[in-house]
Amino acid sequence: MTHDFVRPLTLTLGHLYPDQLNLYGDRGNIMTLQYRCQMRGIQFRAVGLGIGDALAPDEYDMLFIGGGQDKEQAPVAQDLYELKAIGLWAAIEDDMPVLAVCGGYQLLAHYYRPAEGPDMRGLGVFDAWTIHKGPRSPRCIGNIALSWNGSTLVGFENHGGRTYLGTAKPLGKVLKGSGNNAEDRTEGAIYRNAYGTYLHGSLLPKNPHFADHLIYLALKRKYGEEYLLAMAGQTEPSETADHAAQGLHQNGTVALAAEKKTENSLKPSDILTPLDDKLEWEAHAYILERLGLHSAALTALSAYKK
């Protein structure tokens, strides 16, 4: 059920450095977000932001930055720090969802020290740093699984650098694989709604629950809980919700009502129509099985079947 005041939902994603940072199927993450939005009638648009392009945070609802080789990261690091830093920081502090993979993850931490050459200065979004211990040090490569939010995430990692966390909260705990550094069983980092990870382009295709989490965060930030619940037919429209829907801030977010629900009261499943994710969860479970995590594989499949 929908109401007359409900307008079509729209999301715009800013894709940072699509030509430089595009290893290991990272574009698959954007394709997954686009597909899952379109299947629900959410208008989705991805805009590339290359070297020399300014980042105006009020033009986007989500941001993505992928991974690349060291030689490609150097000019990106300079552009990110000199041109896009202010806009990116403003977006993150305003709780815009950001997904940063591998090289992108490293550049959102304090610095990356490559095997050769000077340090690459990062933005310090994540209280973390990365050190490549040299060509003789084994790479962290292969399938990986980690615990996340009461569930599991699976993916593929391939990185030579070792990332160490300061006060940053990890994305998850490594069940099998290397993760941040192959030492402390941490993987990724979180700051507000920004997520850094070494899991490449199989991340969102094989983890539909995490893809929906990012979509949910973007919608919640832009439209507010009351409007989304009314859109989903779970509440009757109110004057407050109507005003919120019409009164978008300049940065695309809405002023939420004082009586809005608590942050933990709304889940992605409350506002996002379920999709047929049978193949996605079978692929997810297959990786868990290959890693010897048989119990986790059964749990993943049973969770989907519910």
Task: State pLDDT tens for residues 223-279.
Answer: 998 888 887 776 555 544 444 444 333 333 333 333 344 445 678 988 899 999 999
Q: Which of 55, 99, 102 is nearest to 81 (CA)?
A: 55
Taking CA atoms, 159 is separated from 21, 64, 68, 152, in Å, by: 14, 19, 10, 21
Annotated active-site residue in 15, 159, 200, 209:
200
Q: How many CB atoms lie within 10 A of CB 2?
A: 11
Q: Is 102 labeled as catalytic in the residue annotation? A: yes
Q: Is 249 labeled as catalytic in the residue annotation? A: no
* CATH code for the domain in which residue 167 is found: 3.40.50.880
How does the average pLDDT of the chain come out, rounded? 88
pTM of the complete model: 0.89
Among the ranges given (3-12, 36-45, 189-198), the one the predictor scored with the smallest mean pLDDT: 3-12
Per-residue model confidence (pLDDT) at position 236:
57
Higher-pLDDT residue of 302, 52: 52
Residue 139 annotated as part of some ligand binding site: yes
- Chain segment 105-163, per-residue pLDDT in tens: 999 999 999 988 899 999 999 999 999 999 889 999 999 999 999 999 999 999 999 99
Q: Which of 102, 95, 94, 93 is nearest to 16 (CA)?
A: 102
Annotated active-site residue in 102, 140, 159, 213:
102
Domain of 170, in residue numbers: 1-306
Q: State yes or no: pLDDT of 177 exceeds 50.
A: yes
Per-residue model confidence (pLDDT) at position 258:
30
What's the half-sphere exposure (Cβ side, CA atoms, 13 Å) at 205? 16
Per-residue model confidence (pLDDT) at position 250:
37
Domains held by the chain: number: 1
Per-residue model confidence (pLDDT) at position 106:
96
